[in-house]
Amino acid sequence: MAKIAILGYGTVGSGVYEIFQDSDFSKKIGESVEVSKILDIREFPSHPNPGLFTKDFNDILNDAEISVVCETMGGLHPAYEFTKALLEAGKSVTTSNKELVATYGTELLEIAAAEGVRYMFEASVGGGIPIIRPLASCLLANNIERIAGILNGTTNFILSEMINNNREFDDALADAQARGYAERNPAADIEGHDACRKIAILASMAWGDFVDYNNIPTEGICDISLTDVRYAEKFGAAIKLIGYAEKQDDKSVYACVAPMAVECNNPLAGVTDVFNAIMVRGNYLGDAMFYGRGAGKLATASAVSADVLDIVRMKSLKKPMRWETGATKMLEPGKKKWAYIVRTKAGQKEIDSEFNPVKTVTGVVESETGFITEPMCEDEFLEKIARVGAVKYIRMLEN
Amino acid sequence: MAKIAILGYGTVGSGVYEIFQDSDFSKKIGESVEVSKILDIREFPSHPNPGLFTKDFNDILNDAEISVVCETMGGLHPAYEFTKALLEAGKSVTTSNKELVATYGTELLEIAAAEGVRYMFEASVGGGIPIIRPLASCLLANNIERIAGILNGTTNFILSEMINNNREFDDALADAQARGYAERNPAADIEGHDACRKIAILASMAWGDFVDYNNIPTEGICDISLTDVRYAEKFGAAIKLIGYAEKQDDKSVYACVAPMAVECNNPLAGVTDVFNAIMVRGNYLGDAMFYGRGAGKLATASAVSADVLDIVRMKSLKKPMRWETGATKMLEPGKKKWAYIVRTKAGQKEIDSEFNPVKTVTGVVESETGFITEPMCEDEFLEKIARVGAVKYIRMLEN
């Protein structure tokens, strides 16, 4: 019998409790798992098992019988201090806390490796969709070339409403809030910060060197209008908020979060509503996509629980995962090549003086032209477009 | 340094050799891997390393330094005898051989467990797409409720050509053969036998009890006409060859392979060309989909290689995977409920005497009506449709 503890009895933490309460995993992993303590500062008087709760972290830290702890508190502090203390005490930790992993992942993985325990975070990206473990294990024989993902369900819901139901951004956002998909303060979602932390984790996983989310240029979707959506449609594409990372030939890493036009023959374009999907390109495998609900109490909790089960049934790894710090050379964002969809009031002659448009449309908005540029470095594009003048431009995701 | 051997230097086997030749995995797994012997009855005089080849299986069996063997011969014999002997000699085996896994998987897993070695077959389903390991590990906390997959790239290419390029079956098949996607004798693909073995493996994985592919009713796509495709379109659906398995409330398993109409809002409907995709429904996770190229030399070889790397870097599992035999109670196929798209020359009155059509279209073919039935047991449907008379009917995949 393995004994585990849960830190934080919120949405995900209570989901983890439910899963271990409802299932006997001894048939699956050869050992049963029991939640023996739960840390939360709140009272849960009507809980069927109130004796599990403690307000004192030391009750868990000093309980020698507890071998795995699920950190589902969220936030950096005290989640960081608690996780560090637990790993140093020889307990494995699983988490859904993307902020913590993206900020302190390197140090926490290092401590886990030194102590011979594990720090696992399948639930930190994509909710219950398996993506961390496939990157760490199933795709191990591949060199990952790039990752492009719809990593935030709230923004994907908003964009889907704009695309499919012709709603303006504000209207779609209000609906997302009414349905509980978006927070009252939706900045972390709509400004791309949530997706940024997730792509930082995926990039760190893919190449084994820590990618600091502070170094990832991040744009949200607040500026995307229904007209932009219609232009993208004219060009056979759908606008999605994409978390993007790729390894350059010179071994530097490029990463960004930005709304991008995704061509309709790309499976990412068909990912609607609150769903997430992550497309991973391996040198041998080509593109593989992982799709599902990126959030939700039990989906996320099932990923935290799968990490627990993995720890309980595995003996140790010969080579624990580590992220090197300081080793990641980031590509200067201006050097990254993109094709762009441009909306402009400039005439064809001015357009042609700077660009060789691949495709042009008119008539979507009066006295406006829309065109797709050839792929070019962002720096070069910005210079050219400053001379031509643009109403709006948006990157296109290369298939 | 781990030493491995390859059985069969065909497409996949030579891909495995290339991957281990091209990559130094010591950074990733803490140990380098070297191909030290290759078994093949053919001569490869121009191979850069001819000394690796042997025609005598015993050279590999009796080489104490070889700890992992990749079986990429295909076929049942002598792959079965070789695999068994290797496992009994304490060597782990990884394979891409779906026929062998679907036929002798139970026994081979049993021997591996008894010997403390591993028998792994990520490459047997979905080529390089990670699906076996996610089922075995990432989704461990979930009870799998159903699996619906596009498991055969050749038939998906043919159906995609029919849907998108208006081609008849024979024409699309000839093209698939010309491109090398389909064999000269395409029966294993187009009659559904390949997909059948794959869904049998997935079902055995999902519920831990051996599902014999001989017990899975299997229909291919030879009878699907362009008219059927157009009817499905009228009902907002695309025809796909689906490998299907689900756990019933009474714990019995239902499985089949059949062309099914997949509604366009289902991500499986958007999977075109030679791509494969597997949709897995977990009780906590909901639907997750795994998508990618289901075949190809290096994609498949990279999955075989990932299994090798996993074996080399892992110490043993506390609870090795096993499939129970005889434990699987299969649902009688006639008891499974489906909605059907029906094409009939019967009049509305005759239709209404047996069915309550959910939707009806006319005008696709003269003097024909198309309708969607309510979901009903296959037995009941067959009785009713015998009385009404049908030109064609096809199951609809429930979303």
Q: Which of B280, B313, B346 is the last residue of a domain?
A: B313
Who among A272, A290, A313 is closest to B317 (CB)?
A: A313
Asked if B288 and A130 come within 8 Å (Cβ–Cβ), the reply is yes
Instruction: List average pLDDT for each run of 10 residues in chain B, which is 399 residues long.
Output: 96 97 87 96 94 97 97 97 98 96 95 93 94 89 96 97 97 95 92 97 92 94 96 95 93 93 93 96 95 92 94 70 76 92 96 95 94 96 97 93
Residue A254, beta-bridge partner list: A246
Does one domain contain both B262 and B338?
Answer: no
Classify strands A286-293 and B376-377 as parallel, antiparallel or unpaired.
unpaired
- The answer to whether B309 contacts chain A (CB < 8 Å) is yes
CATH of the domain at A114: 3.40.50.720
Can you give the pLDDT at residue A26?
A: 87
Asked if the structure places residue B322 within a domain, the reply is no
312-331 in chain B: CB under 8 A from chain A: 312-319
Structural domain for A153, as ranges: 134-293
What is the distance, to the nearest Å, from the Cα of residue A141 to the centroid of all Cα atoms in its chain? 23
Asked if A299 and B286 come within 8 Å (Cβ–Cβ), the reply is yes
CATH of the domain at B393: 3.30.70.260
Structure tokens at B367: 């003097």
Can you give the pLDDT at residue A318?
A: 56
C-alpha span between A335 and A333 (Å, rounded)? 5
Which residues of A are the active-site residues? 198
Chain A residues whose CB is inside 8 A of the B15 CB are 284
CATH of the domain at A272: 3.30.360.10
Angle CA A66–B140–B84, to nearest 5: 110
Q: How high is the ipTM of this complex?
A: 0.90
Chain A residues whose CB is inside 8 A of the B133 CB are 133-134, 137-138
Residue A151, beta-bridge partner list: none
Nearest CA in chain A to B27: A319
The pLDDT of residue A319 is above 70:
no
Does one domain contain both A276 and A149?
Answer: yes
Asked if B141 and A286 come within 8 Å (Cβ–Cβ), the reply is no
Q: How high is the mean pLDDT of chain A?
A: 94
Q: Which of A251, A285, A313 is the last residue of a domain?
A: A313
Does one domain contain both B343 and B376?
Answer: yes
Please check whether residue B104 is in contact with residue B253, taking contact to mean a CB–CB distance below 8 angstroms: no
Asked if B139 and A313 come within 8 Å (Cβ–Cβ), the reply is no
Asked if the structure places residue B281 within a domain, the reply is yes
Asked if the structure places residue A323 within a domain, the reply is no
Asked if the structure places residue A146 within a domain, the reply is yes
User: From the candidates B139, B275, B283, B285, which should be mutated to test the interface with A, based on the most A CB atoms within 10 A?
Assistant: B285
Does one domain contain both A305 and A267?
Answer: no
Q: Quick check: helix, strand or coil at residue A60?
A: helix
Who among A208, A292, A302 is closest to B289 (CB)?
A: A292
Asked if the structure places residue B320 within a domain, the reply is no
Asked if B293 and A285 come within 8 Å (Cβ–Cβ), the reply is yes
Mean pLDDT lowest among A1-10, A59-68, A253-262, B131-140: B131-140
Which letter does DSSP use for residue B128 in this model? T
Who among A19, A286, A290 is closest to B284 (CB)?
A: A19
C-alpha span between B83 and B79 (Å, rounded)? 6
Does one domain contain both B229 and B370?
Answer: no
3-state DSSP percent of chain B in helix, strand and coil, to 5 = 40, 25, 35
Number of C-alpha atoms within 13 angstroms, CB side, residue B84?
11
Helix H or strand E encompassing A376? strand A376-377
Asked if the structure places residue A326 within a domain, the reply is no
- The answer to whether B138 contacts chain A (CB < 8 Å) is yes
The pLDDT of residue A88 is above 90:
yes
Structure tokens at B200: 């049998």
Shortest distance between the Cα of A356 and any Cα of chain B, in A, equals 31
Can you give the pLDDT at residue A34?
A: 96
Asked if the structure places residue A319 within a domain, the reply is no
- The answer to whether B289 contacts chain A (CB < 8 Å) is yes
Does one domain contain both A284 and A175?
Answer: yes
In angstroms, the first-to-last Cα distance of chain B is 48
Does one domain contain both B219 and B267?
Answer: yes
Chain A residues whose CB is inside 8 A of the B31 CB are 318-319
Q: In chain B, how many domains are there?
A: 3
For residues B63, B64, B69, B74, the Cα torsion angle rounded to the nearest 10 degrees is: 40
For A225-244, how does the pLDDT look when each residue is reduced to its tens digit (9 = 90+)?
Answer: 999 999 999 999 999 999 99
Shortest distance between the Cα of A139 and any Cα of chain B, in A, equals 6
Does one domain contain both A210 and A275?
Answer: yes
Shortest distance between the Cα of B81 and any Cα of chain A, in A, equals 27
C-alpha dihedral sign at B170, B172, B178, B181: negative
C-alpha span between B231 and B166 (Å, rounded)? 13
- The answer to whether B251 contacts chain A (CB < 8 Å) is no
Nearest to residue A62, comparing CAs of A5, A119, A132? A5
Q: Give the mean model confidence (pLDDT) for residues A194-218.
A: 94
Does one domain contain both A251 and A370?
Answer: no
Q: Quick check: helix, strand or coil at residue B387?
A: helix
Does one domain contain both A287 and A302?
Answer: no
Nearest CA in chain A to B296: A285
Q: How many CB atoms lie within 10 A of CB B276?
A: 27
Does one domain contain both B37 and B153?
Answer: no
Asked if the structure places residue B328 within a domain, the reply is no
Which residues of B are the active-site residues? 198
Q: Give the mean model confidence (pLDDT) for residues A297-310.
A: 94
Does one domain contain both A92 and A145?
Answer: no
Shortest distance between the Cα of B133 and any Cα of chain A, in A, equals 7
A-B CB pairs within 8 A amount to 195
Can you give the pLDDT at residue A5?
A: 98
Asked if A309 and B27 come within 8 Å (Cβ–Cβ), the reply is no
